[in-house]
Amino acid sequence: MKILVINCSPVRDGATAEIARIVSEHVCEGNEVRSVCIDDYRIALCKGCRTCHRTAKCFQEDDVTLLMEQYEWADRIVSVSPSYWADIPGQFKVFIDRCTPWCNTHEPHAKLSSGKKAYTIALRTGPSMPECERIVSSIEHFHGHLEIESCGKLCLCSIEYKEDVAARIGEIEAFCHTILK
């Protein structure tokens, strides 16, 4: 199985990156795993021109297609996202906006191979579970428009620093088993 783990945070060494690392390590046996950070890619803001509604591609030349090639490669996609003001980080939202050429709400549209499954891990510093659910909802909505089946979620509250992840490793490892089913 080919598994893509994406750190949806631009922070390469924080709590989100630590969770992505743990997931990558726990799903690697017998699988091909690629781990990326949204900050690895240069992604321009969507101009809202709707050219992609007619052409199924964006006129801007940046790294969106490179990241979508990772999505195409993968059988399973694991998105690990922190809360930035009660939702996904802006950098990941910009990527989602730029994926309109692959969105199934207009024709023509680019299309990923069928049969892909997605899993989402949301984390936040405070104790409010609804905030984590909002993050999951944003990512699952995105996956739905790409026709990727959302198959599981893990919400982790009260994680602010990388060191806070250690107390939650058991939950993360248990979630990894659902990814491998």
Report percent pLDDT > 70 for the chain.
100
* DSSP SS3 for 5: strand
Q: How far is CA 100 from CA 74, 163, 168, in A?
A: 19, 37, 35
Enclosing domain of residue 40: 2-179
Query: How far apart are alpha carbons 149 and 77 in whole angstroms?
Result: 10
Structure confidence by residue, pLDDT tens digits, 16-62: 999 999 999 999 999 999 999 999 999 999 999 999 999 999 999 99
Query: How far apart are alpha carbons 140 and 159 in whole angstroms?
Result: 22
Quote the pTM value. Answer: 0.97
Q: What is the CATH number of the domain that holds 117?
A: 3.40.50.360
Q: How many CB atoms lie within 10 A of CB 31?
A: 14
Q: At residue 108, does pLDDT exceed 90?
A: yes
Per the listing, tokens 């989402």 go with 120
Tell me whether residue 60 is exposed, middle or buried, using C-beta atoms within 10 angstroms of its C-beta: 0 to 12, 13 to 18, 19 or more.
middle
How many domains in the chain? 1
Q: How many CB atoms lie within 10 A of CB 137?
A: 17
